[in-house]
Chain A
Amino acid sequence: GQQLNQSPQSMFIQEGEDVSMNCTSSSIFNTWLWYKQEPGEGPVLLIALYKAGELTSNGRLTAQFGITRKDSFLNISASIPSDVGIYFCAGGNTGTYKYIFGTGTRLKVLA
């Protein structure tokens, strides 16, 4: 079945550093989503992307929909301790109602 390769699996960074993570697929998607899961909570939608090449920001977060439609990237600038959590990418196609999730990137920010 379809799979998403998300990397890195985990990151330990210093507060104030920028973070980059990405997601690649062997399949084409027309929607890419980025979620964040904090301990004890469910994933929360951060950014949704609908067009190849699209670059969308949400505060310090910026995500891009890859031109090939097979990948997506998430950047976090000037990380802070509350950025800690697991970040999931998800790819989907309009009308299917079903998303394929990546394995997650666990982010830890050291103050």
Chain B
Amino acid sequence: EAGVTQFPSHSVIEKGQTVTLRCDPISGHDNLYWYRRVMGKEIKFLLHFVKESKQDESGMPNNRFLAERTGGTYSTLKVQPAELEDSGVYFCASSHIWGFETQYFGPGTRLLVL
């Protein structure tokens, strides 16, 4: 069974540019989560999808962040325009609808905003 995949693995952009991160969850997992870890800090929840619906987006930092999950399969997280403080590792995780505690994480996208 393929795990959660994320693309790109690394991204270096300049302040003011736009970046789109992609996450492909494990096939059949209805729950999809985005998290972010700023260097040395905790992994912070950003938002949660159940299928294509946003269940909880309370962790999204501001309106420069837009997450979508059209069709309930893969998800994208767009940052526009990027700021320096957006740098960090963005993790995606997915879980089966009945096993929410077993969240399987992707390898993350390392974003550096210069």
Chain A: residues with CB nearer than 8 A to chain B? 3-4, 6, 31, 33, 35, 40-45, 48, 88, 90, 92, 97-104
Contacts and interface: CB of A to CB of B under 8 A. Distances in A.
A56 B37 CA distance: 27
A101 B40 CA distance: 12
Interface residues of B, number: 26
13 contacts: A3-B42, A43-B91, A45-B102, A45-B103, A97-B33, A97-B48, A97-B100, A98-B45, A98-B56, A100-B45, A101-B42, A101-B45, A103-B41
A7 to B, nearest CB: 13
Interface in B97-114: 100-108
A110 B107 CA distance: 25
Interface string B25-53: 00000010101000011111100100000
8 smallest A-B Cβ distances: which pairs? A42-B105, A101-B43, A101-B42, A103-B42, A43-B105, A42-B107, A42-B106, A98-B45
A42 B100 contact: no
Among B4, B44, B55, B100: residue with most chain A CB under 10 A: B100
Nearest to A49: B101
